[in-house]
A and B are shown apart, each in its own frame.
Chain A
Amino acid sequence: MKQKLEEILKNGLCEIEKVSDLKSLDEVRVTYLGKAGVLTQILRGMRDVPAEERREIGSLANSVREQIEKKLSEKWANLENEKLLADMEKEKVDITEPSKGVKRGALHPLTRFNNKFMEMCVEMGFTVIQTPEIETDYNNFEALNVPKNHPARDMQDSLYITENILLRTHTSPAQVRAMHMFKPPFKIVCPGRVYRNDDDSSHSPIFNQFEALVIDENVSLKDFMTMVKEMAVRLYGKDVKMRVRPAYFPFTEPSIEIDATCQMCGGKGCSLCKGTGFSEFFGGGIVNPRILEMAGIDSNKYSGFAFGPGIDRSVMVTNKIPNIKYLFRNDLRFLKQMR
């Protein structure tokens, strides 16, 4: 009996081992553990075993059954897993086939640049506003200390609608409006379109600028410079170099032009920066006290700085756009490159 059991165990384990599909494995299970199975038969024959051996044989029989069951379930799991692997192999797809669903579009490069810049300004405490594009001659020139005989005030350079209303030639009227909208101290930045009577291969009659203005007590050129430096570092990285030149704007005094490492060539010198390694970053300066006074702000108490560049050129440099006219042509082949 004992010998028989050991033989069953040996054969059973061996047969289980040999089986290679789930169906055959089930057959083996029936052969051994089924109602008419070999082991079942043996256990039924237990009553013929002498009482003194019954205990030992019984325990052996149970152990044999357990071992076979364990082996069966292990094998079952293995075979099932193999089958899954085989099925997955059959379901394999060509992962290089195109994706489905709507493909994301893209924002215009000008918007992207603007967003980046404006978010930076917001972090630095600026409020982003927009002011009208159709402006009064007063806000566009007079209130900004642009003298009456300045060429910009001729019809030839600006787009006028009436004698006193024109398409703004710069975003600087935002300074004037902000001075009336907010009580100092404040910081504002105003992005937007500006218009000039100019249309050739390198100029658009419409282009984009922004204007920033900080009015507070004790604001100096040094504060302006530390802020500009911070902005340049955030935009172009900590290795950016700066260069400051005196400049002239009617609404700031002193006025400066700030150049930063040319982003086209990384400062090595290229056709865009005329070999200097620098390109124009900001123009601005300390707000001319006359402008504060005209807006009803006490220039003895408050001072400020204003700055604002044209952004079209920066956008061209950052995105290596070959021609300024691309910005308004809206060719899908161009826009797709902004994804």
Chain B
Amino acid sequence: MKVSYNWLKDFVDLKGLTPEQIADKLTVSGFEVEEIVYINEHLHDVYVGKIEKIEKHPQADRLVVCSVDVGFKEVQIVTSATNVFEGANVPVSLEGADLCNGVQIKPSNFRGVKSDGMFCSGEELGIDENYFEGASINGILILPKDFVPGTKIEDALLLNDVVFDINVTPNRPDCNSVVGIAREICAMFGKKFKDFDISYKTVGDDVNKYVKVDVETENCPRYSASYIKNIKLTRSPLWLRSRLFSVGIKPINTMVDITNYVLVEQGQPMHAFDYKYLDGHQIVVRQAKKGEKIAVLNGQTYELDKDVMVIADANKPVVIAGVIGGVNSCISDSTTETVFECAVFDLKSVRLTAKKFGLSTDSSARYSKGVNINLPSVALKRALHLVDKLKCGDIVGGIVDFCKTELNQKQVLKISYSKVCKILGFEVSKEEMTKILNGLAIETDIVGDEMTCVVPAIREDIKTVNDIAEEVIRIYGYDFYNNIDGIVFENCSTTMGGFEPRLQFENGLKNILVDEGFYETLNYSLYSASACDKLLLAEDDVRRNVIKVANPISEDLSTVRTVMAHAMLLDVAYNLSVGNKDLRFFEQGKIYLPKKLPLTELPVENDRLSFAVCESGFDFFNLKGVVENLLVGTSLKYKLQRSKEPYLHSGVSADIVAEDGTVVGWFGKIHKTVLKNYDIGQDVYYGELDTDYLSSLPEKEHSTKEVSKFPPVERDIAIVVDEKITNEELMSAIKSASGKIFYDVNLFDVYRSDALGEGKKSMAYKIVFMSEEKTLTGDEINQAVNKILKSLQFRFGAKLREN
């Protein structure tokens, strides 16, 4: 919201207050000033000058030398402009000037003739024809005869304003106006609000004879209109143009300017119709009919439907309500009679229509914030006052006022004074509090602890004691809290802090992965629906039951994820594509599994840890090591089974299956076809764990027993077996054959060769024996080894490998 400093002066005495002081106070009181714009920023050292004499330049045909009276001195200006003449008043920029087109003025020499400065065009002053007559011509701006030489140009052209760009919070729609901000400034500085004039003279007669208004839609709670005839359309006076110009609105003609003036000053959007183009002299506020079209002021033609509210005449839509007017009924040079509209439209309806057509107008922006139901009548009178003041038409008596709901009334709040202090945490004296609230036009009376506040009708935001507390503290000043020294939670009960167990558990896993050389990634939980296809999920895979965003930003962000691997593979592919190597990534994230589609209740949000490695020399067993390190600290008892994950290599992957049969994760090499789908040219190893499940397990218990006093003895054996025999089978056979003296067994070599034969492998184990009772003898060890070999031979046909 842009607010002009000069405009504010109409309603509040700003003497002694600089724009900066006002801006600071506005900011700390809840109206953040995002920017202060000085309209005269590029107008210093520019004056009104009168050309006394023009002589030809002795050396150059195209230049002339002018003697100019700039009030406080005579200067000489050399110019090539051809529209200057003796006696003309012109803007003269002198040494030090810094014009808005970047030109900086220094005295210079034009072929031997000194020039003290430069005459300016309208463009060089940042204005155009709309603002000032002659400002758009190709040449110097010729100023009116009555301008006094030596006057600063900013004062002569009323370009001496300062504008605050204020961020008005959504709870204060009343402050999207000059008067709203002026009222606030009054409260902040303890000043009195100067009321505005809404009086006007009519030519009698009755508006109802000329205009009929019908409101047929729910979306228009109030519609006020008036009728003006014998319109004399002219340029508005400079003071009015200046104010519109300051806040970025183009001055056009009196009628249009008045509607804009009221919009900015009162916060009430208005519209002016050309009466002769209103068929049936009728105004109908209704929803558009499907197929209706309207050509509007921005040059576009829109096709309408029932979601769009329009103002229509007897036959056709003439305005998209609250958004933009149609060309067919707008004010033009031929307008002689007009109808003014001041209405309240449903903010949501206006907002959605504006968005639908991609339109943002001053009117739609204002309506989207909410217009008070009381405002139209006041604003309409203010507009009529201006019509009267500018003498630009004859106002017909009476106004049409359709109002569906009751107007807002002052409301009385009865609250507790001590409760206000309790919310603030310190005591504001009754006198101080009363003064602050009265300053905000909240008439307040405090008797004992009982506080009565009469809240003005425009303050729809004030409903409770907390709202009153906020009004008090924002004017009292939040600065108070900057200087307090309090004990933290002085008045609060002691509570025990802690992490939700899952979060703590996940942090532990993350740290393990970091130690294993992994980097944490974060991915969007939305992706393209094609993820399931790329990962080769079967048609009946439950993860194909995806939750779809109803209004996605794009196809790539249309689906809530049900698998982690997609994002991880995209990360790997991206990194490879930019030349990064040796990738170890993990992500802790959620997948979202609907119980039923379409969603009727919230889905299950399942926390998963996914990890991937793309690194030369890394294989399945390295990955298995990572998985074991992740799981060793948990109490999970699990076994590995061949994985059925469709995106993993069927031979080089495993599911982690808990004792209760739950698959708590899987890991393995990524399927070749999947790699191709992601344009990845190297092997990728991937794993995933269900951290919801894992974190729900009881904590791992560590019960220990005494360590043996006697030394362990190691023996190595290498046996040849069929490929199909697994390490696990052999190890458990070794363990059971060793009996009581078994301590440990490890596979330390697997060997295949032609000599061993097709389908055979050599497995070398280091077996450790130990007794808790005595030192083992060579014979005892030999016996045990023999027993093991026999057992392996009997069960698996294993033969001792001969070197």
Q: Is B535 an interface residue (CB 8 A)?
A: no
Would you call A288 and B425 a contact (CB within 8 A)? no
Residue of B nearest to A151 (CB): B351
Interface hit among B474-482, B664-672, B749-757 = B474-482
Residue of B nearest to A184 (CB): B493
A159-B197 Cα distance, complex, nearest whole Å: 48
A309-B479 Cα distance, complex, nearest whole Å: 21
Would you call A221 and B424 a contact (CB within 8 A)? yes
A46-B585 Cα distance, complex, nearest whole Å: 86
Given contacts A160-B549, A220-B422, A256-B478, contact A289 B466 (CB under 8 A): yes
Residue of A nearest to B27 (CB): A245
- CB under 8 Å from chain A, chain B span 454-473: 464-467, 469-470, 473
Would you call A111 and B423 a contact (CB within 8 A)? no
Would you call A220 and B424 a contact (CB within 8 A)? yes
Would you call A121 and B470 a contact (CB within 8 A)? no
Q: Is B659 an interface residue (CB 8 A)?
A: no
Q: Is B548 an interface residue (CB 8 A)?
A: yes
Would you call B466 and A253 a contact (CB within 8 A)? yes
A300-B639 Cα distance, complex, nearest whole Å: 57
Given contacts A154-B351, A248-B170, A329-B574, contact A134 B580 (CB under 8 A): no
Q: Is B520 an interface residue (CB 8 A)?
A: yes
Would you call B473 and A128 a contact (CB within 8 A)? no
Would you call B497 and A155 a contact (CB within 8 A)? no
Q: Is B592 an interface residue (CB 8 A)?
A: yes
Cβ of A128: which chain B residues have Cβ within 8 Å of it? 497-500, 503
Q: Is A18 an interface residue (CB 8 A)?
A: no
B458 to chain A, nearest CB (A): 17
Cβ of A254: which chain B residues have Cβ within 8 Å of it? 423, 466, 469-470, 473-474
B473 to chain A, nearest CB (A): 6
A227-B489 Cα distance, complex, nearest whole Å: 7
Would you call B605 and A223 a contact (CB within 8 A)? no
A307 to chain B, nearest CB (A): 14
Would you call B525 and A193 a contact (CB within 8 A)? yes
Would you call A247 and B549 a contact (CB within 8 A)? no
**Main SS of chain A's interface residues?**
mixed
A336-B507 Cα distance, complex, nearest whole Å: 19
Q: Is B355 an interface residue (CB 8 A)?
A: yes
Would you call A133 and B466 a contact (CB within 8 A)? no
Given contacts A103-B517, A220-B423, contact A328 B469 (CB under 8 A): no
Would you call A332 and B575 a contact (CB within 8 A)? yes
Residue of A nearest to B572 (CB): A330
Residue of B nearest to A334 (CB): B519
Would you call B464 and A205 a contact (CB within 8 A)? no
Q: Is A225 an interface residue (CB 8 A)?
A: yes
Cβ of A185: which chain B residues have Cβ within 8 Å of it? 492-493, 495
A155-B169 Cα distance, complex, nearest whole Å: 21
Interface contacts (Cβ under 8 Å), in number, total 265
Would you call B470 and A154 a contact (CB within 8 A)? no
Residue of B nearest to A253 (CB): B466
Would you call B526 and A205 a contact (CB within 8 A)? yes
Given contacts A160-B551, A253-B466, A254-B474, contact A221 B481 (CB under 8 A): yes
Cβ of A262: which chain B residues have Cβ within 8 Å of it? none
A36-B520 Cα distance, complex, nearest whole Å: 77
Cβ of A197: which chain B residues have Cβ within 8 Å of it? 551, 553
Would you call A161 and B28 a contact (CB within 8 A)? no
| Residue with the greatest number of chain B CB neighbours at <10 A, chosen from A104, A132, A155, A254 | A254
Cβ of B470: which chain A residues have Cβ within 8 Å of it? 246, 253-255
Cβ of B425: which chain A residues have Cβ within 8 Å of it? 220-223, 225
Given contacts A253-B467, A331-B575, A335-B519, contact A161 B496 (CB under 8 A): no
Contact with A along B581-607 (1 / 0, CB 8 A): 001110000101000001110110100
Residue of B nearest to A214 (CB): B492
Would you call A244 and B481 a contact (CB within 8 A)? yes
Residue of A nearest to B368 (CB): A151
A148-B553 Cα distance, complex, nearest whole Å: 23
Contact with B along A106-134 (1 / 0, CB 8 A): 11101100010010011111111110111
A151-B547 Cα distance, complex, nearest whole Å: 24
- CB under 8 Å from chain B, chain A span 176-226: 185-187, 193, 195, 197-199, 205-206, 214, 216-223, 225-226
Would you call B519 and A121 a contact (CB within 8 A)? no
Would you call A135 and B602 a contact (CB within 8 A)? yes
Cβ of A219: which chain B residues have Cβ within 8 Å of it? 491-492
A302 to chain B, nearest CB (A): 11
Contact with A along B1-38 (1 / 0, CB 8 A): 00000000000000000000000000111101000000
Q: Is B494 an interface residue (CB 8 A)?
A: yes
Residue of A nearest to B482 (CB): A242
Cross-interface CB contact of A247 among B169, B368, B473, cutoff 8 Å: B169
Would you call A105 and B516 a contact (CB within 8 A)? yes
Residue of A nearest to B496 (CB): A125
Cβ of A186: which chain B residues have Cβ within 8 Å of it? 495
Residue of A nearest to B31 (CB): A246
Would you call A155 and B551 a contact (CB within 8 A)? yes
Residue of B nearest to A115 (CB): B507
Would you call A134 and B602 a contact (CB within 8 A)? yes
Q: Is A16 an interface residue (CB 8 A)?
A: no
Contact with B along A147-171 (1 / 0, CB 8 A): 0111100111001111001010000
Q: Is A303 an interface residue (CB 8 A)?
A: yes
Would you call A104 and B514 a contact (CB within 8 A)? yes
Q: Is B802 an interface residue (CB 8 A)?
A: no
A312 to chain B, nearest CB (A): 11
Would you call A133 and B525 a contact (CB within 8 A)? yes
Cβ of A155: which chain B residues have Cβ within 8 Å of it? 550-551
Would you call A333 and B423 a contact (CB within 8 A)? no
Q: Is A71 an interface residue (CB 8 A)?
A: no
Cβ of A253: which chain B residues have Cβ within 8 Å of it? 464, 466-467, 469-470
Would you call A162 and B497 a contact (CB within 8 A)? no
A223-B493 Cα distance, complex, nearest whole Å: 12
Q: Is A290 an interface residue (CB 8 A)?
A: yes
Given contacts A128-B499, A218-B491, A245-B28, contact A149 B348 (CB under 8 A): yes
A293 to chain B, nearest CB (A): 11
Would you call B605 and A134 a contact (CB within 8 A)? yes
Residue of B nearest to A241 (CB): B482
| Residue with the greatest number of chain B CB neighbours at <10 A, chosen from A220, A245, A247, A330 | A330
Given contacts A226-B487, A227-B488, contact A108 B522 (CB under 8 A): yes
| Residue with the greatest number of chain A CB neighbours at <10 A, chosen from B515, B523, B549 | B549
Residue of A nearest to B579 (CB): A333
Cβ of A205: which chain B residues have Cβ within 8 Å of it? 524, 526, 553, 557
Give the top 6 A-B pairs by smallest Cβ distance, nearest first.
A222-B425, A220-B425, A246-B30, A254-B470, A248-B169, A226-B486
A-B contact pairs, 29 of them (CB 8 A): A103-B517, A104-B515, A111-B522, A118-B499, A122-B498, A127-B496, A130-B503, A132-B605, A136-B602, A149-B348, A154-B355, A156-B551, A159-B553, A161-B560, A186-B495, A187-B497, A216-B491, A220-B423, A222-B486, A226-B486, A245-B28, A245-B32, A246-B30, A254-B466, A254-B474, A255-B470, A286-B469, A289-B466, A330-B523
| B binding-site residues for A, Cβ under 8 Å | 27-30, 32, 169-172, 346-348, 351-352, 355, 368, 370, 422-426, 464-467, 469-470, 473-474, 478-479, 481-482, 484, 486-500, 502-503, 507, 510-511, 513-526, 547-554, 557, 560, 571, 574-575, 578, 580, 583-585, 590, 592, 598-600, 602-603, 605
